[in-house]
Amino acid sequence: MFDTIKIHFFDSTGDAYDFTQCIDDIKNGDVLVIESEKVVGLADTWPVAVTKEAGNLHTLDDGKFESYLHQFGKDAGQRVFTDQQLKAAKAIATAWGFE
């Protein structure tokens, strides 16, 4: 079985952040693309940029997405993002020439 990764496009990182909080169609790990700010991120309760530019999205101080774990709730202790989600976001950032 393959995971389906959705890609969502936004006009700003502010919009991307806000919509991850209230739009049910945006699921954890979906890719967020904000071309105007050269940002690609992953949806989460705290959406995170995988690019150097982050805008209003969060960043990981250590850059270790593979060890980024859920802190609360039923998924506490589990990885937030899958390898497939990380690979997709990074591939899009690279293809679009975002650092």
For 40-78, how does the pLDDT look when each residue is reduced to its tens digit (9 = 90+)? 999 998 999 999 999 999 998 877 878 787 788 888 788
DSSP 65: G
Contacts of 33 (CB under 8 A, 6+ apart): 7, 8, 9, 10, 39, 40, 92, 96
Q: Establish if 69 belongs to a structural domain.
A: yes
The owner of tokens 């995170």 is: 48
Residue 24 lies in a domain: yes
Domain for residue 22, yes or no? yes
- Residue 2 domain flag: no
- The position carrying tokens 């650092």 is 99
| Per-residue pLDDT tens digits for 1-49 | 346 889 999 999 999 999 999 999 999 999 999 999 999 999 998 999 9
Question: Does residue 53 lie within any of the structural domains?
Answer: yes
| 44 lies in some domain | yes
- Select from 71, 74, 57, 18 the least CA-distant residue to 89: 57
Asked whether residue 23 is assigned to any structural domain, the reply reads yes
In which domain, by residue range, is 44 found?
A: 7-95
The total number of structural domains that make up the chain: 1
